[in-house]
Amino acid sequence: MTAKVALLNFGGRDYSLPVDGIRHILQEPELFPLAGLCKGLAGVFLFSGEIVPMVSGDILADGETGGCGKNSYTIVYQSDYGSIGLPIEAAVRIVESQDGSFREATAEDESAVVSHFFQYREHNYPVLDIEKLLTLLSI
């Protein structure tokens, strides 16, 4: 699936993300509001001269409003539709994917933003599904 996996923390919840798509991790970039943004976006920020949309914390909280804590960092992630900012509380570490294993999410694991789990040292890290996340932005 990917050579390395980033283990992240958001709002007290663990997530994982393939490192392949991570362009950069920024510390609290300045966020600017724009007119007409869909509600899943919190604004935009500048990264290397590029205008990058920032995902709202509530979307990553998987529908739990107010579930987002203090987000000290922002991941600049390269999606199929361009760069996007993901607010995170902490980037815990980056590990080799071969040191863990991936499994598909089941109906019991139902989540709007997760389709797989990365099992690492007896802990299940939901793999953030960026395509699912982008679909949610318009709802």
Partner 1 sequence: MRDMIDKKLVFRIAEVGFSLSLDDLVEIREAGAGVLDRSAADPEMGLLGLISYRDEAIHAINVRQRLGLPAPESFESAYVVVNGSDGVWALPVDKVEGIFPADQFRVCEVPLLLRMHSALPYQTIQVWHREPLVGFEPLALEQVGAAR
Instruction: Return residues touching partner 1 (CB under 8 A).
Output: 30, 32-38, 40-41, 44, 46, 49, 51-53, 79, 81-84, 134, 137-138
Of 49 and 66, which CB lies nearer to partner 1 in the complex structure? 49
Reading the block at residue 55, the tokens are 């995902």
Q: How far is the CB of 78 from partner 1 (least distance, A)?
A: 11
Q: How far is the CB of 134 from partner 1 (least distance, A)?
A: 7
Of 55 and 114, which CB lies nearer to partner 1 in the complex structure? 55
Q: What's the rounded Cα separation, in Å, for the pair 130 and 60?
A: 10
Q: How far is the CB of 51 from partner 1 (least distance, A)?
A: 5
Of 83 and 97, which CB lies nearer to partner 1 in the complex structure? 83
Using an 8 Å Cβ cutoff, are 38 and 137 in contact?
Answer: yes
Q: How far is the CB of 53 from partner 1 (least distance, A)?
A: 5
Strands (E), 3-122: 4-10, 13-18, 22-27, 41-47, 50-55, 73-79, 82-88, 90-96, 101-104, 114-120
Of 11 and 85, which CB lies nearer to partner 1 in the complex structure? 85
Q: What's the rounded Cα separation, in Å, for the pair 7 and 130?
A: 15
Which contiguous run of DSSP H or E holds residue 125? strand 123-128
